[in-house]
Structure 1
Amino acid sequence: MRAVHFSIGLSLLSATMAPAQQAPCGGDFSAFVGQLAQDGVARGHDPATVQRFLSDVRQDPAVLQRDRGQGIFQTPFIEFSRKLISQDRLDRGRRLAQQYDGVFSQIERNYGIARGVLLAFWAFETDFGAFQGDFNTLNALVTLAHDCRRPEIFRPQIFAALELYEQGAFDPATTTGAWAGEIGQVQMLPRDILENGVDGDGDGQVRLKTSAPDALMSGAKMLAGLGWRHGEPWLEEVELPEGMDWALSGLETTRTVAEWERLGVRARDGALDDGRLEASILLPQGKGGPSFIAYPNFRVYFEWNQSFTYVMTAAYFATRLEGAPVYEAGTPAPGLSGEQMQALQRALQARGYDVGEIDGILGAGTRAAVRDVQARLGLAADGWPTQELLNRL
């Protein structure tokens, strides 16, 4: 990691300076940090405070390496979920649900979020607090803001961290977390901590790294702020009728639960929820694999993490923690390798489909494009790309 030390002249960072411009990404790292400092003062922060906050910031190549190496999200849902969901995690989740029963009961009353939802995030993000990451948070945020892949996500988080620093809740030298700048047991970015931090244990502080009640209550408040609907479900495994129109699957298509029932969709265990709720049918590995109905709250998961595979697995694990049975895996058709998926994405992009980054990951955008082109080619439009589809394209 390369350290950056700079001195901020008071004339440069005076209260009368012109409004700061958006600092461009890339270029010389020291100059970039200097531009951040100017912007921080233009936002009303004390020049000396800004200097102390940024004085030892370093560019971290390991952060960029992790950002470029997210190949795990190329893993299909069944394999991915089996890797992440173990009997040990289920058992620990249920024990923790009992240990923090009072906290979860308060969350359910205040925010209408089932305990399984928070337990699943807690498990996947940090293995229930055991592995919270050892990346210097400020270095990670500045490195990712300087990088030109997603600077608009990370740059605002630097100034949120500065606000936390001014409040005595962030130490540029010692605050650590995940490689992407998230902090604490449920991994929250600085802006989310500012807006949603909750003192869940009543000690007068918000300590997301060491206090499970603080972390869980803060995560619940954040989910509520992202649009979680009080007391409603999020995901349920279903059985689909013979002759199902596969083109109706996917997040792009919604029907009321009552309409899905009239089409022959049934809950695999128990009954579907309120017939008036809008819902979608999801086939994470096509018509041969497991099938689920996704309620409105399922979409909130994408505000937490944009990986379809992660979201499906987190939402499904939450249902398991609430007592749902193991899904019926079925016999899905073999999928594509990462390289094949990239070839498919390039072929779809050449035909005018917006599949986002060519990354070999079967995300929501690629699934929608696959479903459309499958229908055009007379294939089962289930959103699951196969070698046959790639050959046809």
Structure 2
Amino acid sequence: MHLCAIIFYMNRFVRTTLSALSLAAFVAPAALAQDLPPKLDPVEFNSCLNELRGTSAFKAITPATFTRFTDALAPDPSVLVLLNRQPEFTMPVWDYMAVLVDDERVAAGRAGFAKWNETLQQIEQQTGVAANVIVGVWGVESNFGQNLGGRPLVQSLATLSCFGRRQAYFRGEFAAALRILQEGHIVPEKLSGSWAGAFGQTQFMPSTFFRSAVDFDGDGRRDIVDSVPDALASTAKFLQNAGYRRGEPWGFEVRLPTGFDTSSAGRKNKQPISNWRAAGLTLADGSPLPNSVPSAGLLIPARGGPAFLVGRNFDALFSYNASENYGLAIAHLSDLVAKSGEGTDFVTPWPTDDPGLSRAQNRELQIQLLARGHDIGSADGMIGAKTREAIKAEQQRLGHKVDGRGGQKLLRVLEQGGERR
């Protein structure tokens, strides 16, 4: 999501694909008091649908298809709450990376890579997109198919086509969703996903489906929901269309020389590797910069933290979700999936004395909060409104900064008895 360097939880929507269901699965946006679903007039809704059926956006949709999927349709007011919600909680990059690239996801990614290796190698041969990068997208987008979203796309997109902001955009996606059903690529009961219309194992918007979806398993359908080969090949096709270059890495972590002027930093400000080498940059372990990318931009997500030289393939990852943090999560996960060993940290630590929590640690934090009587539901790792209110209560009791953020410091204190110190 991104708004470029800081991710807002579920509020990113009008983009090429709608991601971070894997993130939303454990970091839920706070429910605000004013976030009550509006009352939507069903008569107005039906009138809107009747008008849409005759517009040019729906010219490819037969009357029978339109009638079948809209006749008994009711609007879903809750999607307008999500459409209009303003993010009230921002996530530092070290929290974002800790929860999206943790030991659990790396292990699941390696298992998926091994299970689907033959398919992945075929896809890489055909598209040039590295197999581990495809797995990285799969892991970040839906936690390897585990978090697909459960909202019926037709209902969500029909509602957004008739009420709220950006109706023209959503009408195009609504028409594309109906076309997917009309052509039989996805069965109706499986066409569900995020509130704004992204679906499948790597979260395509319906219009993106028609640009990039691939029938890789040869059954005549482009099924990115139930067919892992179709989903992975479609992801590779998207990245190929975005300019992914065969044989090049996304980039690499680097070490900056002491006193280096970072005014030239920026993903778009690409320079030949020879220039960066002449400026004194090395790989993070001190070895010379390789010539594996012809040019790269200097990415510094947080001042004083890890720095990276990123090439054209990082830009392709960025185009998937218009977020540098998102691209870095995929890049880092893909590297770890392709390697052996433990640990998920970069060589240079993040500039914080209170690192973020993994999903397992989020669950442990919730267990500690439940043990202290906080009514937060179950310890499911979803850091939503109730969990953040409980965190604030404990922070206030302990004399910590009251911001609702659960980090390593708070978890350690609670595990050690939770006494003020």
Q: Same fold (TM over 0.5)?
A: yes
1:102 aligned residue (113, 118, 122): 118
1:214 aligned residue (217, 230, 233): 230
Q: Does 1:327 align with 2:343?
A: no
1:349-391 Cα offsets, whole Å, 9 max, x none, are xxxxxxxxxxxxxxxxxxxxxxxxxxxxxxxxxxxxxxxxxxx
Q: Distance in 1 between matches of 2:167 and 2:252?
A: 36
Within-5 A mapping of 1:36-185: 36-39=52-55, 43-68=59-84, 71=87, 74-170=90-186, 175-185=191-201
- Structure 1 stretch 132-141 or stretch 192-201: which is displaced more? 192-201
- Structure 1 stretch 146-155 or stretch 76-85: which is displaced more? 146-155
Q: Distance in 1 between matches of 2:121 and 2:297?
A: 29
Q: Return the letter of the residue paired with 1:242.
A: T
The SS at the match of 1:253 is: strand
Given that 1:40 and 1:159 are in contact with CA atoms closer than 8 Å, whether structure 2 keeps it comes out as: no
Would the alpha carbon gap of residues 169 and 318 (structure 1) be closer, same or farther in structure 2, given more than 3 Å must change?
same
Q: Distance in 2 between matches of 1:72 and 1:327?
A: 29
Q: Does 1:244 align with 2:260?
A: yes
Task: Quote how far apart the aligned CAs of 1:265 are.
Answer: 1.3
1:254-277 Cα offsets, whole Å, 9 max, x none, are 211111111111112565443762
Given that 2:248 and 2:293 are in contact with CA atoms closer than 8 Å, whether structure 1 keeps it comes out as: no
**Cα RMSD (Å) of the superposition?**
2.9
Would the alpha carbon gap of residues 317 and 127 (structure 1) be closer, same or farther in structure 2, given more than 3 Å must change?
same
Would the alpha carbon gap of residues 321 and 167 (structure 1) be closer, same or farther in structure 2, given more than 3 Å must change?
same
Instruction: Name the residue aligned to 1:339.
Output: none
Q: Return the letter of the residue paired with 1:135.
A: R
Would the alpha carbon gap of residues 275 and 180 (structure 1) be closer, same or farther in structure 2, given more than 3 Å must change?
same
The SS at the match of 2:53 is: helix
Q: Distance in 1 between matches of 2:288 and 2:264?
A: 21
Instruction: Give the fraction of aligned pairs with identical amino acids, expressed as a percent.
Output: 31
Q: Distance in 2 between matches of 1:276 and 1:183?
A: 33
Given that 1:78 and 1:329 are in contact with CA atoms closer than 8 Å, whether structure 2 keeps it comes out as: no
The SS at the match of 2:296 is: strand
Q: Distance in 2 between matches of 1:60 and 1:307?
A: 29
1:314 aligned residue (305, 330, 351): 330
Q: Distance in 2 between matches of 1:277 and 1:265?
A: 15
Q: Distance in 1 between matches of 2:205 and 2:162?
A: 17
Given that 1:238 and 1:268 are in contact with CA atoms closer than 8 Å, whether structure 2 keeps it comes out as: yes
Q: Distance in 2 between matches of 1:318 and 1:215?
A: 17
Q: Return the letter of the residue paired with 1:289.
A: G
Q: Specify every segment of 5 or more residues in structure 2 that has no aligned partner in the other structure, as ranges.
A: 1-36, 355-421
Q: Distance in 1 between matches of 2:293 and 2:64?
A: 57
Q: Does 1:284 align with 2:301?
A: yes
Q: Specify every segment of 5 or more residues in structure 1 that has no aligned partner in the other structure, as ranges.
A: 7-27, 336-393
1:223-244 Cα offsets, whole Å, 9 max, x none, are 1112222222113111111121
1:313-370 Cα offsets, whole Å, 9 max, x none, are 22222222233973134352799xxxxxxxxxxxxxxxxxxxxxxxxxxxxxxxxxxx
Q: Distance in 1 between matches of 2:63 and 2:194?
A: 28
- Structure 1 stretch 165-174 or stretch 188-197: which is displaced more? 165-174
Q: Return the letter of the residue paired with 1:125.
A: E
Q: Distance in 2 between matches of 1:332 and 1:297?
A: 26
Task: Quote how far apart the aligned CAs of 1:90 are.
Answer: 0.8
Aligned length: 313
Task: Quote how far apart the aligned CAs of 1:173 are.
Answer: 6.1
Task: Quote how far apart the aligned CAs of 1:125 are.
Answer: 1.7
Q: Return the letter of the residue paired with 2:45.
A: F
Greater relative contact order: 1 or 2 (C-alpha under 8 angstroms, separation 6 or more)?
2
Task: Quote how far apart the aligned CAs of 1:132 are.
Answer: 0.8
